[in-house]
Amino acid sequence: MLQILANDEYILGNFGFTNFLSGSQLVLMYCPESIDQSYFVVTFANAVVVDVSDILTFRPDSNPVVTSGKYDTGTGLLNNLSVTFGGTIIFDEAAVGYDNKFYLSGLVTGTGTDKVQSPFYVETWKLSVKSAYGTGSNASYGIYSTGSFSFSGTVQGSLPRP
């Protein structure tokens, strides 16, 4: 997937090479406060290399439902917050002129927690889809896809949390 994304971003003029360095990672920038604003980037050594949301996107099918844990509305801090929601990953190369597209949909479950390390907080999310399904197309044939995917990550922010 990273090889395809590097080549596509090169064609679009967003990245100067046709491949990413070894050790690069595909990262979902998950935004729980406004989940529809989540997007994909490629990182290397914890630094964003390029935003690939013009090819690969994440779309929530519903707002997250909190199944357990706590969210402090005063500070915005999470305490073992468990969420469930429908989500879809969409791969579409139309921006580079290719007729390749597919999607994977499933039930996303996960947890988020914040640890205070004053004057900062560290937020960690772990999300997964155990059984995903989807369809797609290529210029000459249809695609049926199944699989699973997961996301995890940590971000540091300043207190008080916005």
| Contact status, residue 159 vs residue 121, Cβ threshold 8 Å | yes
Per-residue pLDDT of 61-109, as tens digits, reads: 777 777 888 888 777 788 888 989 888 899 999 999 999 999 999 999 9
pTM: 0.79
- Assign 20 a pLDDT band (cuts: 50, 70, 90): very high
Q: What is the mean pLDDT of residues 42-65?
A: 85
